[in-house]
Structure 1
Amino acid sequence: MKDFVDTARAANPNVEIVLANVPHRTTLGDANPHLPQRTTDYNKALAEAIPTWDTDDSPVVLADLDDALTSSLTTSSVMNDVSSSSQEASRSVASWRARATTAGSEGRSQVAT
């Protein structure tokens, strides 16, 4: 995933990135008995890594789809939870924009919108 972030930033140093974790799925039985733990491990590693990839010029935020999908009981509540995660990510990016624009008025480059 870090390669993805680096590649995106090589194309646009000011790219805003929202990365989603992996939702847990129903068991695959004997087909892949380690999948639930692998998913948990990946999601934990992603959540720990994202703050280290976040920069003032190119924010990276986590959309927690796993929590949104596994804690919901109905399709409508799933969509509300996913929407909430997206809105939270949007607020994070908006906050970054506000900080960057303020920094721009203090002599640094302003954010292109």
Structure 2
Amino acid sequence: MRFMMIVKASKDSEEGTMPKEQMEQMFACMKKYNEELKKAGVLVAVGGLHPSSNGIRISFPVPGERPVVTDGPFTEVKELIAGYWFIDVKSREEAIEWAMRAPDPHGLGEGQIELRQVFE
């Protein structure tokens, strides 16, 4: 079973305002966690995303009409994604266990990971 662990964005991840020492500590924790996923053989892919200020949104407002292109930034930070892991595990429960072992993605006690199963 494949799952996407979606790291929700925060105000800091969108602004890139995390202090350097905190950023280094967070990356060290993430690197260690990623190595654990690799060693267990469950990591398919991992990545961090640029802020939405570099993003592009394509909207399909009316069937048959040309899609609308909107450049970022996008205002609803709580709806944005800052990064992800794709994992391949044996069960939903195992996916939850791995997600709960992840370090706080923002290192500030405000991180959030959404776990979604991928259609196979």
Instruction: Please give the range of the TM-score, normalised by the shorter of the 2 chains.
Output: 0.3 to 0.5
Q: Which has the larger radius of gyration?
A: 1
Greater helix fraction, Structure 1 or Structure 2: 1
TM-score, normalization by structure 2:
0.31
